[in-house]
Amino acid sequence: MNSLVIAVVMLGGYYIAYHTYGKFLARKIFKLKPDAVCPSEEFRDDHDFIPTEKHVLFGHHYTSIAGLGPIVGPAIAIIWGWVPAVIWIFFGAIFFGAVHDFGALVLSLRAKGRSIGDIAADVVNKRVRTLFLLIIFFGLWIVIAVFAMIIAKLFIMFPEAVIPVWFELPIAVVLGWLIYKKGMDALWPSIIAVLLMYVTVVIGAYAPVNIVKYVGSDAALIIWIIIVLVICSWLASSLPVQTLLQPRDFINSHQLLIAMAMLVLGVVVAQPPIVAPAINHSFSQLKDAPPLLPVIFVVIACGSISGFHSLVSSGTTSKQCDSESCAQFIGYGSMLMEGALATLVVVAVAAGIGMGLEVNNVFYTGTEAFSKHYETWKGASGLGSKLDAFVYGSANMIHAYGIPLKIAVAVMSVFVVSFASTTVDTATRIQRYVVVELATAYNFKALTGRQAGTLFAVITAAILVFYDSIEKVFKYLPYNDVITSFKIAFSTGGKGALKLWPLFGSVNQLLAGLALLIVTIYLARRKTNFVFTAIPMIFMVIVTGWAMIYNINNFYTSQNWMLFIVGLIVILLEIWMIIESIVVMKTVLKE
């Protein structure tokens, strides 16, 4: 199979879906009202609520929902074969993910910019709101902690990304100042900002910042985690959205479009054949390999549907959208663009990797390269393996039309790190909203303030990140002095969040099902045809509940009691919420 054919068919299909199914949902189901007053106008404070031009907001929304999800998911799922991966990415994005994102945005626009969890109080009841917000808090808690660690690890893996990623901050601040303070049109300042960004990419390619050689890999990880938590988490969440978060995302959206254009050009020029199997029949022989069903629906999250997207739609995006008429472009369109990115990732790892892969100083090509990279499930699902497959597969295709391989690797590594940083920025801001909403609901005034909510979000994430270090301090303290105990503990720390990470995939996808449940009840209350949200909702609740039970059984079998207990609590909370919602739904249908 030629990779160009897959890319053309899927990208063309997304374009058609936007102009047909997307418009149908906008006009007939959600019935968008261009003259409706949006929260960005009604509650404008120029900090969280600010009316934003739709192309700028598209950039923020898209980069926030994308992150590493559409990269790592397809890069793992390809081990089952490229056919199951592209089928779920294509149909999932159109009929599941885009509907989910679009619906959550519309509901929040009509509910004063509140989160989908808080809206549950109006649509279902206050108990469900509390359950939903607790599940959201748990999911975001893991996201912030794990992504802080991932970004730190990426800076170690790709030191050429350090200069571009950090220099993007002052560039973004100046861009925001020019647009909002000086009133300049976004076009030329954004073009100049992106050009400056790529100047720093070239600098980074030839002047990588590798602090490992000065402090060692363990200390480097700790240092980068602390910097990320302070700057990406606390600072980006505390500042007005138009100062850093929004302009940075706008730059990253341009960076993404350029990277995708470079990949498409690479596919057209190189037209690398697919070296991955259509369906990997030998996969079941791999040690510790999970089954294709239902695990693929959890592994491929953001490329098809992700519960995190509903948090972005109803968290930051709804507070900046200046018209309901923009909701289809931002909510539905962004998800299709993410599906397009996931498609290019599949091409990069299923075809691009076959153009050349070096492992332990041995150079592999063709099917041998793919087989070598995906010879074990553990290897394929590891962070380094997932990102290496995408970065070097993509770089191979870009190199096909003359761009030096070193520059191509730098471009793609900066792209990966930038998107991971955006996820942490947005997740922390949304976590602050969740904390404030919960504190307000239960009249806990100490956490209703902006800074208090942000600090709570960052500190709790830091505790999870350094959980393993804290554990070691208490372990070694009886035998050493305090300073020695801390040195031992933090020399190998920073990976505490990984203890809960195995739960995140299932929790995230069940969250998507629950968000669709709220949207479905909302439509039913308005006497609108809700079948278009009910079908994906039922599907997601069933398959991801199945995956959750599969994981909980594995935790029990392996005697991983912490994951078993936490997983059991989460699924019981979800079942409770679903039962309450069904009771309400029956009442609504009888009215």
364 or 186: whose pLDDT is higher? Answer: 186
Whether residue 253 contacts residue 53, with contact meaning beta carbons closer than 8 Å, is answered with: no
335 or 489: whose pLDDT is higher? Answer: 335
Helix or strand or coil: residue 273? strand
* DSSP secondary structure of 146-177: HHHHHHHHHHHH-GGGHHHHHHHHHHHHHHHI
The percentage of the chain sitting over the pLDDT mark of 90, rounded to a whole number, equals: 31
The percentage of the chain sitting over the pLDDT mark of 70, rounded to a whole number, equals: 88
| Per-residue pLDDT at 475 | 63
pLDDT, mean of residues 401-418 = 86
Whether residue 352 contacts residue 266, with contact meaning beta carbons closer than 8 Å, is answered with: yes
At how many degrees (to 10) do helices 501-525 and 292-299 cross?
80
> To the nearest whole number, what is the mean pLDDT of the chain?
85
- Say how far apart CA 286 and CA 79 lie, in whole Å: 10
With b for 16 or more beta-carbon neighbours within 10 A and e for fewer, the 333-353 pattern comes to: bbbbbbbbbbbbbbbbbbbbb
| Number of domains composing the chain | 1
pLDDT, mean of residues 307-329 = 94
225 lies in which domain range?
3-590
Band (pLDDT 50/70/90 cuts) for residue 574 is confident
- 52 forms beta bridges with 321
pLDDT, mean of residues 331-354 = 87
The distance of Cα 348 from the centroid of its chain, to the nearest Å, equals 19
| Per-residue pLDDT at 179 | 86
Band (pLDDT 50/70/90 cuts) for residue 102 is very high
The distance of Cα 369 from the centroid of its chain, to the nearest Å, equals 28
pLDDT, mean of residues 136-147 = 88
- Say how far apart CA 500 and CA 497 lie, in whole Å: 6
124 or 375: whose pLDDT is higher? Answer: 124
Assigned token pair, 154 = 């990426």
Q: In what helix (H) or strand (E) does residue 252 lie, and over which residues does it extend?
A: helix 245-270
